[in-house]
Structure 1
Amino acid sequence: EAEAVLGRVEDVAGLFAETPERSADSPGSDWEDRLRDLAVRAVLGEPEQAAMLARASARELQATLGVDALRVMSGSISYVRRFWAHNLKGAPKASLEAWFEALTEYAVALSYSRRLCTRSVACAVQRERPGSEGRRLAADLAQRGDEESVDYGATCTDAYVAGDRVRSLVNMAGLPNWALHEGDEGAVEAPGPLHGCASICFNKGTVVLPLTDICRPRDFEERMCGRGKPCRGFAPGQLVRSLVSAACHPRALARGLEGRITAVDRTRGRVNVDFGGTNDNGTEGALRVTLLLSDVSPVEEFEAKLQSRREALGGFFVGESVRSLIFLPLQASRPLLFGAEGVVSMLDLQHRRVLVRFGGEEPLQVLLRFQDVCLMDEFEARLQERRGVLAGPLPG
């Protein structure tokens, strides 16, 4: 492998001639060894050997790492490249450039090997890929003007190409005028603007999703089966209540709304929750949201968890109605009156302040201390407390 990185193809060929040939299915070898062998074979321009190793690597990857095999493998490759780059920082400039040229060639070989593995999983290894005629891969891709030759750092995105059909594993209810639901099918338009993402065109719109949140249609049932296992007290089919509120489509998600879990993403600590529909058949206008495990609660534990969350946030939630406990005459548009009703817009936990929007003909936004506002149902009690302390009329 090291000789291949250095570009000494003759030395690599000599080493392989002196070493007994190992079967692609021999016991005791893992996918990392096969990947290294595959990259070397690709550098040497031996497509048949590379394809055989790709099939063996794909089988072991699936058996060892499951459906996220290619993502893990791509991450490992990216780590190796960062390691080499870090350790070459102090080298002389001439040597550094020579090494990076060799590493670039090696990265193309690794990219080629990943694509071979991907297509082996789909039972279709293409033999007309770059390097099949013994040409140098980087030169081949550059000559063709292949877009992939520019981005050697791509990892997961080369598992999908434009036009591939995919299905969503998550819900996205915060999109403008439409919602993405678990199981919706779309087509890949292009790799997304972020690493490990792709732009997906669905029937109602286009959205950029992480590759871990989509899968091929044939893999959907298997992926959802993997998300059917319990995690931290949550399981599919369980009734839960939301601890958060949010602007969603087709209607807002209200705090305390009850729904049923349809999938549990144990890796990222999320759940897909179906909060039902608004009409008789419960389909049109259905509210389906993907939430963090910390944002939902079992029905029987809701009150306790809600109170604990309220205390952690200083006693207020964004969107709650509050009343003012102070009088401020020097505001920009009008004075803030004692007892004025408003809605919490933002919380500043560090400084224990809350931004409140007060309605009226001239809306007013004021940043107040936690002790200067209260919830609607607490106003009368807090009013009497202040009257007792001040022993007289309140300001304003």
Structure 2
Amino acid sequence: MSRVNHQIRSPRRLLVTGGAGFIGANFVHYWRDRYPEDRVIVLDALTYAGNRGNLAQLEGQDHFKFVEGNICDRTLIDNLLSSENIDTIAHFAAESHVDRSILKPGAFIETNIVGTFTLLEAFRHHWNQNNLGEEALFLHVSTDEVYGSLAPEDPAFTETTPYSPNSPYSASKAGSDHLARAYYHTYGVPTIITNCSNNYGSYQFPEKLIPLMCINILLGKPLPVYGDGQNIRDWLYVSDHCSALDIVIHQGTRGETYNIGGNNEVKNIELVTQLCQLMDELAPELPIHPAKELITFVQDRPGHDRRYAIDATKIKTELGWTPSVTVNQGLRLTVEWYLNHRSWWEPLLSAEYQAYYRRLYGNSVSA
């Protein structure tokens, strides 16, 4: 992957929204490791998927601050941008789980659309009032799901693929993408949009596919697989995503969109089978062995997109970035992380989570 020259950059002052969530926390750790001279302010509402413990190693460090708050709170945003003299917003905060968006879409509209609008408006005024330099940036981190679903023979999504969202989640992210684009074209606000494929790695909340499978295997619980398991996703290891965002922040063209993919298209059932094999190898004293005996097919969810695939030619050609972690390498690292961090995920299996799980998959696969 391409590297940023540390010697020729000035320190940044970043506001990272959603920085206690999965991708956000990984990005904050990545950034603090590589740019310790930068000021990083994390803003997170600490909803169910936000965990301040994800940032525990950074608490008390110079140039780091955590603020609990909501991105819809304009007064709070204005105060943070002004008091911290922010020049860069890395916007991760979002409701992101498709299944939850089907059950309760209102929260997705509020956070993903209204929240993004609030941030853009605040940054627009801050940018104008303070004459921020050419390094200023509003980075809007989005998803490939805004493009809709692909048939097996269709070419992968490019930055010019028409939007065709099929769930309340992807529709809300599409709306926020359009706002970010509009603020660049209407007001000149320096925005960049990134659309990434499915991320995986450390600190991912147990409702998502890979941590759900890892944890259920360890607990000897059924592994719910939607439909026939033939849905295809492109898997991007989260550290690769962070390195891509690094390049985009430093070298990306304002007003542009960059697709970020892992070049790892895998069928869901094949992914789950591989996780079972890794668990059999790395955790031989499992409650059920071999773990694949736990695979249980469940009724498909409404509007389930069949295939996602990212064409990341643009970011490779223009910025020199390519992913460095294969799906085989990344899955092994991820399984090892969940095996070694039981104290992290066990408290997350709350009564609320159990009730949500039963509502989603039914009592036949109760966690």
**TM-score range for the pair, normalised by the shorter chain length:** under 0.3
Bigger Rg over Cα: 1
Q: TM-score, normalised by structure 2?
A: 0.24
Q: Where is the helix percentage greater, Structure 1 or Structure 2?
A: 2
- The structure, 1 or 2, with the larger RCO (C-alpha pairs under 8 Å, 6+ apart) is 2
